[in-house]
Structure formats: C-alpha cells, structure tokens
Amino acid sequence: MAATWVVVSQSQTSAKDATGSYVPVVRIIFTVGAQGPFSVDVPVSTYSTGVAQAAIQAYADIIAGTEGLSGTTP
C-alpha cells in the first residue's frame, strides 16, 4: 500500500550530485502521516510535478515500510 504524505515546504538550494559537483536542487520537505519532517532533493534541471511526486512517494513508502520494524542484534 502506498504511504500517504504531505509537502510542507520547498526551496531552491544546492547539493552534491553523484559526481561530487554542486548542482541547483529543489529541496522538498514532507511528512508521512505524523512522522517527519523528511526531505528529498530534485535537481532543478529535471524538476517537475511528476518527478517530485515519484521521489517523495519512493521515500515515503520506505518510511512507512520500516515504521513498525523491531528486532534483536546477534
């Protein structure tokens, strides 16, 4: 089941990309249910509603999936 999330804010800043270069990004702050805030960075060059939604949903699904985990260490 897909996690439910809400965007709280977004702003333009810069962040390192995979090559170590700084690039302009839009940092999107969001919550997942009552948890968060969390954030994802989307490069300005690829920023769109669809790209932002996909990035947020992927991260939100991981957060929701790990919410109730517990265990022991060996």
Question: Could you tell me where the DSSP H helices lie in the chain?
Answer: 49-66
68 domain residue, yes or no: no
Identify the pLDDT of residue 1: 58
Query: Is 69 contained in some domain?
Result: no
Least Cα distance to 12 among 47, 37, 36 occurs for 47
What total of structural domains would you count in the chain?
1
Range of 24's domain? Answer: 5-63
* DSSP β-bridge partners for residue 9: 29
Distance (Å, whole) CA 46 – CA 56: 14
User: The pTM is what?
Assistant: 0.86
Q: What would the pLDDT profile of 18-66 be if each residue is shown by its tens digit?
A: 999 999 999 999 999 899 999 999 999 999 999 999 999 999 999 998 8
Is residue 9 a contact partner of residue 63, using CB atoms and an 8 Å limit?
no
